[in-house]
Amino acid sequence: MRWLVFVAVLLCAFTGRALALPDETWVIAIGNNRGDASDIQLLFAERDAREMSEVLRAHGRVASDRMRLLIDENSETVRRTLVTVNTALRARNEAGGAQSALVVFYSGHADADSLHLRGTRLPLDEIRGLVTSSPATVRLFIVDACRSGAVTRVKGVQAAPEFSLQLDNRVGAEGTAILSSSTADETSQESDRLRGSFFSHHLVNALRGAADRNGDSRVTLSEAYEYTYAQTLRSSGQTLSIQHPTYSYDVKGSGDLVLTQLADPGQGGSRLRLSSASTYLISDEKETGAVVAEFSTVRDRAVISMPHGRYFVQRRGSLEYREYQVVLKPGEEIDLERVPHRSVRYDQLVRKRGGTRTSVHGVMALVGINGEVLPGEGVTPNLIFGYSADLPWLTVGARLRGSIATLSSIDGSIPSRRYGLGLAVLLQRYVDLPWFSLAFGVSIEGTFQAQRFDESARVTSPRNSLGVDFGALFAIERRLSTRNGISVRLEGGPLALLERQAVVVNGQAVGDEIGSIFTYFIAAGIVWRL
């Protein structure tokens, strides 16, 4: 099964500078959720066409009377519209008009031979000929062909020979560029969450300004492709079918085509100035609202053009989400750096079974004490190194603990030291509050104890022992900074030890027995979540 589902053919006269779309630009946007009777109806193909026409009208500065939006139309209407527009362009050229452009966008069902338009078909060879033979100076043809899938709606075509639009190898004075959403043997996909195809969604956001790498408020064809490639690969990488958009660029001379320019607030445009380079999710009004845009900025302080309205903005940093409530008014630019926000750490999101990550890993270093284990020994200092993984229901961890304790004597005359090494497994449950987090759980630790006596008193054999410790754990954590994942932690709880101990009579060890000891532990230190 081979498909090529998004093909763009661009023929233009390039000079040594970037060229904007000419004033005489026509856009024909075609969207069909319905294809043949055997095609499963799509949800978002018509929305893709509306979004593409709107972004080219608002930011490509295409005049409204040069826009043709064909929703759920048949092949005859599409054919007639193309012929009519080409006739108008030809008449303009004969009248001595300057440069012109034609942009044709299609989203809907297709197979290897034709587009499926509400029960009718339009051969690919025919529509390709109508576009490539157009008298427009710049010609851009975009095909986004779809079929349905189970979990995510798969966008592609019916099982058939390779779906492609063949181009002549000849490169004239104008040159040729080809943009595709996937390679010939891949599918393209439609997302319920994004309410559109992955490629078209990211392409529209690229044209809104997300792809403006150099900050000149203009989005060129190459910038749009580079951005859309990376985002389509990321989005489709979370599904069963990965898309690799392709781009063929072969022109004489240099330069690039500017597809859109960001709206100027002084001219009634609404703009959102973002903070640091990151991934942003924008929804209507609130967190549970429909997703308006998802994009990753390529530079700090990027500017995005958006329709005016009320939005919920979520910035996905390396360590946390930042959530903003934004109201964009016509002619206004909002700077997110000046908008109050709420920070939500990834570990908290995971524990609440939210966000995009399924686990957050961390390391820790603690110092602490255990209560008295042997009579006369006093408290035992500990040094603890650990690892933890925050999961949706529990936080699991492992720890390595070392300790040294000094005993004045067993019978009043033999000083000794006890060296301990423990390896523990922990299970914890967190309760995240606005200013700190509480945790409670249990630990099971296997221990090795080595007791060494002062040989200056009299000869006494060293002793080694294995044991098991059981503890109940209570902890409190507080994040130190939003710029890193470091928190301070204080913990403690009761501890039960099962240890093999010597039975001493008159200063002599006469045997050993397993004894139980009840004590406590307290520790404090640093946790670094990665």
Q: What is the pLDDT of residues 136-187, one digit of tens each?
A: 887 888 777 754 332 233 444 333 333 343 333 332 224 334 455 554 555 5
**Is the domain defined by 263-339 classed in CATH 3.40.190.10?**
no
Number of Cβ within 10 Å of residue 278's Cβ equals 16
Residue 67, pLDDT score? 94
Q: What burial class does residue 465 get, using C-beta atoms within 10 Å of its C-beta: 0-12 exposed, 13-18 middle, 19+ buried? A: middle
Structure tokens at 368: 């602490």
Q: Which residue has the higher pLDDT, 462 or 309?
A: 309
Between 113 and 72, residue with greater pLDDT: 72
Is the pLDDT reported for residue 385 higher than 90? yes
How many degrees, rounded to 5, is the angle at CA 414 between CA 411 and CA 418?
105
Sign of the torsion angle spanned by Cα atoms 129, 131, 137, 140: negative
Does residue 118 surpass a pLDDT of 80? yes
pLDDT at 10: 46
pLDDT at 237: 58
Structure tokens at 464: 């080694």
pLDDT at residue 14, rounded to an integer: 39
pLDDT at 525 exceeding the cut of 90: yes
pLDDT tops 60 at residue 341 = yes
Report pLDDT for 433: 85
Of all residues in the chain, the percent with pLDDT exceeding 70 is 76
The pTM is what? 0.64
DSSP secondary structure string for all residues of 173-209 = SS-EEEEESS-TB--EEEETTTTEEHHHHHHHHIIII
Domain boundaries of the chain, sorted by first residue: 7-260, 263-339, 360-529
Query: In the CATH hierarchy, which top-level class contains the domain 360-529?
Result: mainly beta
148 vs 28, residue with greater confidence: 28
Q: pLDDT tens, 196-237?
A: 777 788 888 888 888 888 888 888 877 887 887 778 777 665
pLDDT at 18 over 80: no
- Would you state the pLDDT for residue 398? 96
Burial class (CB in 10 A: 0-12, 13-18, 19+), 233: middle
- What's the gap between Cα 183 and its chain centre? 23
Pick the more confident residue, 183 or 77.
77
What is d(CA 510, CA 443) in angstroms, rounded to the nearest whole number? 33
Fold of 7-260: Rossmann fold (3.40.50)
Contact of 13 with 255, CB cutoff 8 Å: no
Domains 7-260 and 360-529 share a fold: no
Query: Cα angle vertex 322, ends 318, 326, to 5°?
Result: 145
pLDDT, greater one: 483 or 126 = 126
Residues with Cβ < 8 Å from 33, sequence gap 6 or more? Answer: 41, 42, 43, 44, 45, 46, 72, 108
Quote the DSSP letter at residue 326. E
Q: Furthest-apart CA pair in the chain: how many Å? A: 121
Please give the pLDDT value at position 496: 92
